Amino acid sequence: MTKPRLFSGMQPSADSLHAGNYIGALLQWKQLQRDYDAVFSVVDLHAITVPQDPATLREKTRRTAAQYIAAGIDPSASTLYVQSHVPAHAQLAWVLNTITGMGEASRMTQFKDKTAKQGADSASVGLFTYPILQAADVLLYDAEIVPVGEDQRQHIELTRDLGQRFNTRFGETFVIPEVSILKETAKVYDLQNPGSKMSKSGETENGILWLLDEPSRLVKKIKSAVTDNDGSIHYDPVGKPGVSNLLTLLSVLGGTSVESLEHEFAGRGYGDLKGAVADAVVAEFGPVRERALELLADPAELDRVLAVNADRANEIAEATLARVYDRVGF
Ligand code: ADP
Ligand code: NA
């Protein structure tokens, strides 16, 4: 029996992924790759929608791929490739651009959010059409499911609309994906600023747990996490965001429910909780970091794995693109 196809990806936009990416994406992917024919991309075409230094981008792309593998994405079971190694992404995006309305594209709230500060006029057209490239990513692989966070719902709706529109106008061509929102996925917050989500663009370096941080650094950051003066350990994301964030981390990484952690830590101090979180994070990230560094120490082998996977991705993507080109009259 063939498994349904799944597509997901992340941008190579930092040297290291962080605890949010690990919990919100990589851990999910690792589970999903068993039940799906999974395609995971390092989406470097998306990364250049904002200015990038070429040498740094190349390095971040490699490091991101290494972290996918180190975290448990199996490049012989799943397809794990770099987006720019598959020309059909850009080719299909162009075709989809021509069936997307200006008004429709202008309604994408993520573009509005991303340009809220500096204004839309200084953004690139690429950033504006980013969701159309994202639609091409998904439709190229006949993906049935696209596991994403709530913030991506509108983009997946657009993907469905464009796929359906093309099918109606040119004949059945694309598989229309389901919107598959990862509701149960825990959100991780900045340790120094627990009102905002942990993000690579976060403002405090000590608030972010990088997957490639040295263990001692992880411990230091967790020990200095912002909490509150109330002194009791219970889950209350609004009233006690710092403590709740620590409970979430310990719950997800230790495989214990938040409820039983509240019991376990009743009457104990924040120092105890931080110690337990530090142990859990180091136990989880330590081996991932070591494996990633091993992979990065042998760039030729990593490039070979990525090339084999790009071949597999190209085979699927080229077949879809050939259908599309034929339909539109090329
Ligand atoms: P960033 O916010 O650092 O730019 P991305 O937007 O590139 O991260 O996120 C890539 C993936 O990681 C997405 O699937 C997203 O849902 C997940 N993710 C990012 N930050 C968090 C977080 N703080 N908590 C949970 N998941 C997160
Ligand atoms: Na983001």
* Of 99-103, 108-112, 149-153, minimum mean pLDDT range: 149-153
Phi and psi at 143, nearest 5°, equal -70, 135
Q: What is the pLDDT of residues 268-314, one digit of tens each?
A: 999 999 999 999 999 999 999 999 999 999 999 999 999 999 999 99
What number is the average pLDDT over the span 4-15?
A: 95
Gyration radius of the chain over CA positions: 21
**Residue holding tokens 């509005």?**
112
Report yes or no: 63 and 294 within 8 Å, Cβ to Cβ: no
Q: Determine which one of 30, 114, 187, 223 is catalytic.
A: 114
Sorting pLDDT into bands at 50, 70 and 90, what band is 13? confident
What ligand 1 atom has the least distance to the C-alpha of 8?
14
CA dihedral 307, 288, 4, 85 (to 10 degrees): -20
Question: Domain residues of the chain, as ranges?
Answer: 5-187+299-328, 205-293
What number is the average pLDDT over the span 179-193?
A: 85
Task: Please say if the pLDDT value at position 77 is more than 80.
Answer: yes
What number is the average pLDDT over the span 246-255?
A: 96
Average pLDDT over all residues of the chain: 96
Q: What is the CATH number of domain 5-187+299-328?
A: 3.40.50.620
Sorting pLDDT into bands at 50, 70 and 90, what band is 183? low
Q: Determine which one of 30, 187, 197, 223 is catalytic.
A: 197
Q: Determine which one of 30, 187, 200, 223 is catalytic.
A: 200
Task: Please say if the pLDDT value at position 169 is more than 90.
Answer: yes
What ligand 1 atom has the least distance to the C-alpha of 152?
16
Same fold, 5-187+299-328 and 205-293: no
pLDDT for res 182: 73
Instruction: Extract long-range pairs of 279-284: CB within 8 Å, 24+ residues apart.
Output: 280/249, 280/250, 280/253, 280/254, 281/19, 281/209, 281/218, 281/222, 281/249, 281/253, 282/215, 282/218, 282/219, 283/253, 284/22, 284/253
Q: State yes or no: is 114 an active-site residue.
A: yes
Task: Please say if the pLDDT value at position 16 is more than 80.
Answer: yes
25 CB near ligand 1 (under 6 Å) = yes
Task: Please say if the pLDDT value at position 94 is more than 70.
Answer: yes
Sorting pLDDT into bands at 50, 70 and 90, what band is 148? confident
User: Which one-letter amino acid corresponds to residue 149?
Assistant: G
Q: Extract the annotated binding site for ATP.
A: 11-13, 20-21, 149-151, 188, 197-201
Spatial CB neighbours of 283, under 8 Å, sequence gap ≥ 6 = 253
Q: Extract the annotated binding site for L-tryptophan.
A: 137
Q: What is the CATH number of domain 205-293?
A: 1.10.240.10
Question: In Å, what is the CA distance from 133 to each residue of 25, 175, 179?
Answer: 20, 16, 17
Sorting pLDDT into bands at 50, 70 and 90, what band is 203? confident
Spatial CB neighbours of 32, under 8 Å, sequence gap ≥ 6 = 6, 38, 147
Q: State yes or no: is 200 an active-site residue.
A: yes
Cα–Cα dist 129/146, whole Å: 19
Cα–Cα dist 200/210, whole Å: 9
* Of 177-191, 249-263, 271-285, minimum mean pLDDT range: 177-191
Q: Which ligand does the CA of 40 lie closest to?
A: 1
The residue contributing the CA closest to ligand 1 atom 14 is: 25
Q: What is the pTM of this model?
A: 0.95
Q: State yes or no: is 3 an active-site residue.
A: no
91 CB near ligand 1 (under 6 Å) = no
